[in-house]
Amino acid sequence: MPQTIAVLDFGSQYTQVIARRIRECEVYSKIYHYTTSAEELKRDGVIGIILSGGPSSVFAKNAPIPDEKLFQLGVPVLGICYGIQLMGRLLGGAVAKSTHREYGHGTLSITKPGRLFAKLPRKLRVWNSHGDKLTEMPPGFSAIGTTDNSPYAVIEDRKRDFYGIQFHPEVFHTERGVDVIRNFLLNVCGAKQDWTTKDYINHSVAEIRKIVGKSRVILGLSGGVDSSVAAALIHKAIGKQLTCVFVDNGLLRKGEREAVEKLYGDHFHIDLRVVDASKLFLRRLKGVDEPEQKRKIIGRTFVAVFEKSLKSIGHADFLAQGTLYPDVIESVAIAGNPAALIKSHHNVGGLPERMKLKLLEPLRELFKDEVRAVGAALGLPKEVVWRQPFPGPGLGVRVLGEITKDKLEVLREADAILVEEMKKTGLYWKVWQSFCVFLPVKSVGVVGDERNYSWVIAVRVVESIDAMTADWARLPYDLLQHISNRITNEVREVSRVVLDISSKPPATIEWE
């Protein structure tokens, strides 16, 4: 077993982010409920403890209080935000109740770097989000960092190796925050860096085997990054006990189904069931042109097809999903009461409960970039690991208005040309998404001496960090000309190519 850092969870939405930062430092950590006894932590051989932040006030009636004996274990403790207030309250300092939360950026001045701020600048921009604050240090502590609002922004007791930080070192907005955490792990706790992606995979494989035993697992494969990595990981753990179902809804891009069959069937030798339901989807979508209605039909049909396919596969105990931590956090209710401490294990975007399957979500603690690293280490190709996002309803929301087989065919050909050219220049990997949209508009063109009257294709290429906002990518004119030429020459039914130069907001990335 690797050395373990315990993260005691007091209900902060950032607890998993702390764990993620620890992984970034290649150290193993385990999240424990705040009620975990010091004895259990000792049994687990933890070499350091981090007290997370939390939504509560130390003055609240049901304030979450840990086992005080953890301060007698002889291991270093780092209290973050609520954690420092707890240290203040439990170790003999004083905490003042605040009427308003201090929220946002502040400047931290380090007066004495010590081991925690070794090799870091004396001034750092930090992120605050707290109500109460420490007004008197517990005996044995001294202040080593201040902010405008607090003379005790960072405190240390060098003798016992106890540290308290008022701000959040784990969040992205805190400058060099990960280095502060690394210093705690390596300089203070003396942790070895023995937790790499490979170790993570091995540990995960063992866990999956333990959970699943001899049972059968079903996974709905979409071809996207998350379900692909989940499939590869679970397959490594349990091989033929895993069955993957890939539903061809007739709204896939060119060659997509074949690529899935080749990779998972031929390469990984996964038990892959491809269900061709394209006719059913198209039949149900006939005559429907309203975007939300289309989405609903596609969603409902998917569930029905998937459910039916499960029946034909036979008994299974687990349904695996490629749920990531950012999906989980959206489903966790954060409120100022102790109930917020018990994270709800929602079936995120899952299938109806009547299927009576247990959920297996091996990626639920990971963030997207970590999932990509796991995928790459499992041997998934770049095309899968760095695949652009693709909406669940597929080309269904990229053929505007009513969907027909012919329109889909035209869009597929045009889109394949765009993707091919984007990959050739390497820009495909740099932008957020690049795709074509079929516009149900006819426009006049000339081919040779003949006048033709055919469809219009829009090219949509955007840059984004998180899809919440996006800007259209400034592609080189020569590349755009080449793409347009190829589409109008090679796809007979297209007479015109237009470029979408709208940002989000006010436009959305997809057209429907």
Binding positions for ligand XMP, rule: CB under 6 A: 295, 389, 391-393, 433, 467, 504, 508-510
Q: How far is the CB of 299 from ligand XMP (least distance, A)?
A: 8
Question: Is 168 designated active site?
Answer: yes
DSSP per-residue string spanning 403-462: --HHHHHHHHHHHHHHHHHHHHHTGGGTSSEEEEEEEEEEEEEEETTEEEEEEEEEEEEE
Nearer to ligand XMP, 466 or 478 (CB): 466
- Smaller CB separation from ligand XMP, 1 or 465: 465
The catalytic residue among 25, 26, 102, 168 is 168
Please give the Cα distance from 148 to 110 (Å, whole number): 12
In the complex, least distance from residue 398 CB atom to ligand XMP, rounded to whole angstroms: 9
CA distance 171 to 183: 16
* Catalytic residue of the set 25, 81, 189, 436: 81
Least distance (Å) from ligand XMP to the CB of residue 355?
A: 21
Q: How far is the CB of 395 from ligand XMP (least distance, A)?
A: 11
Minimum distance, C-beta of residue 384 to ligand XMP, in the bound complex (Å): 17
How is residue 187 annotated by DSSP? I
SS3 at position 223: coil
Distances (CA, A) of 248 to 112, 260, 310, 384: 62, 11, 15, 18
- Residue nearer to ligand XMP on the CB measure, 103 or 429: 429
Closest to 167 in 3D by CA, of 186, 182, 184, 145: 145
Given the complex with ligand XMP, which of 335 and 467 has the nearer CB atom? 467
The torsion angle over the Cα atoms of residues 497, 503, 507 and 509, rounded to 10 degrees, is: 70
Cα atoms in the Cβ-side hemisphere of radius 13 Å centred on 377 = 16
Of the residues 26, 102, 170, 421, only one is catalytic, namely 170
Yes or no: say if 459 and 494 are a contact pair by the CB < 8 Å rule.
no
Residue indicated by tokens 């959970």: 211
Going 55 to 57 to 62 to 68, the CA torsion angle's sign is: positive
Rounded least distance, CB 83 to ligand XMP, Å = 36
Q: Which residues of 159-190 are buried (b: 16+ CB within 10 A; e: fewer)?
A: ebbbbbbbbbbbbeebbbbbbbbbbbbbbbbe
Task: Read off the tokens for 31.
Answer: 């999240």
**Please, what is the minimum distance in Å from the beta carbon of residue 389 to ligand XMP?**
4
Q: Of the two residues 201 and 221, which places its CB atom closer to ligand XMP in the complex?
A: 221
Q: Which is nearer to ligand XMP, 423 or 504 (CB)?
A: 504
CB of residue 220 to ligand XMP, shortest distance in Å:
13
Residue number with CB closer to ligand XMP (1 or 468): 468
C-beta of 467 vs 501, nearer to ligand XMP: 467
Shorter beta-carbon distance to ligand XMP: residue 87 or 328? 328
Complete DSSP assignment for 307-339: HHHHHHH---SEEE----HHHHHHT----SSGG
What angle do the packed helices 278-285 and 291-313 form, to 10 degrees?
Answer: 150
Long-range contacts of 284-289 (CB under 8 A, 24+ apart): 285/396, 285/402, 285/403, 286/402, 287/402, 288/402, 288/403, 289/401, 289/402
CB of 462 to ligand XMP, least distance (A): 8
Q: 270-289 burial, b if ≥16 CB within 10 A, otherwise e?
A: bbbbbbebbeebbebbeebe
Q: Could you count the other beta carbons within 10 Å of the beta carbon of residue 361? A: 20
Q: How far apart are CA 200 and CA 194, in angstroms?
A: 10
Active site residues: 81, 168, 170
